[in-house]
Structure 1
Amino acid sequence: MKGLSIFVSFLGGAAVGAAVGLLLAPEKGADTRKKLLDQGTKIADRVNETLKRKGIKLSREDMEGMVDDIAEELKPVNE
């Protein structure tokens, strides 16, 4: 489970980096929000595929917990 924790931390860092890059881009708010949503969807898909390849099965509650953890990491970026 420690490996999964490291993996989630890595993904959280990647998400924060992507969010900061998008938020600093000179675009309209609606365009930025759409890009953030698209990027989040891509990250979630990659996480899901990686976990499947590793043979790790997570419940919906576990995935929601991971999403909540990443959202908590992103809060300082949004403030």
Structure 2
Amino acid sequence: MNNTLGLISAFLGGAIVGAGAALLFAPEKGSELRTRIADILRKKGIICSDSDVDALVDKLTKDLQAEVCD
């Protein structure tokens, strides 16, 4: 059971990082991308400010860079 939970967690973590990478490497300007991310989060019921989205994008960027360098 614990192994299954770990496998599901790893899958979800990879899916989140992959989705972040897809968004970050999409051919859009940064401001348009941040607006799009905020809109998607709001549609999911997650209320966030522009600074929250900026922090999320910065975190995803750092996580992706760490993954690429490893």
Q: TM-score, normalised by structure 1?
A: 0.43
Whose relative contact order is higher, 1 or 2, with alpha carbons under 8 Å and at least 6 apart?
A: 1
